[in-house]
Amino acid sequence: MDKLSNDMLKTVEDEIDKIILDPLKGELKKGDLSYLRVHKFHIHKQLVLLGYSWKEQKLELYLLSLATHENFYKEMKQARKTDLLFIL
């Protein structure tokens, strides 16, 4: 998120706040990505997907990815093993 402008970062932070208030907001994925929830929103008319995992018993939110739709699922599948080690 270091590459985001201040206004883009503010938008992302606002969306993260929405997820914190309602952790089940994002769509739960299936198959290889069944550990992942995806929250979709727009930044400057560009669809952005924020991938996260929520552990209710620990009250932890893991933000795993922020990318445009074109690259999101490819990147998430590549990072799957590392993500699972991190959140489990």
Q: What is the CATH number of the domain that holds 81?
A: 3.30.2310
Q: Which domain holds residue 62?
A: 6-87
Report the predicted TM-score, pTM, of the whole model to 2 decimal places: 0.74
Task: Please check whether residue 29 lies inside any domain of the structure.
Answer: yes
Name the domain count of the chain.
Answer: 1
> Which stretches of 1-88 are assigned E, i.e. beta strand?
27-28, 37-43, 46-55, 60-68
DSSP 2: T
Q: Is the pLDDT of residue 86 over 90?
A: no
CB 72 within 8 A of CB 65: yes
For the chain, give the mean pLDDT. Answer: 82
Helix, strand and coil percent figures for the chain, each rounded to 5: 45, 30, 25
Distance CA 57, CA 87 (A): 13
Residue percentage of the chain with pLDDT more than 70: 88
**pLDDT of 75:** 79
Render pLDDT for 24-53 as a digit per residue (tens, 0 to 9): 999 999 988 888 889 999 998 888 888 888
The residue ranking higher by pLDDT, 18 or 81, is 18
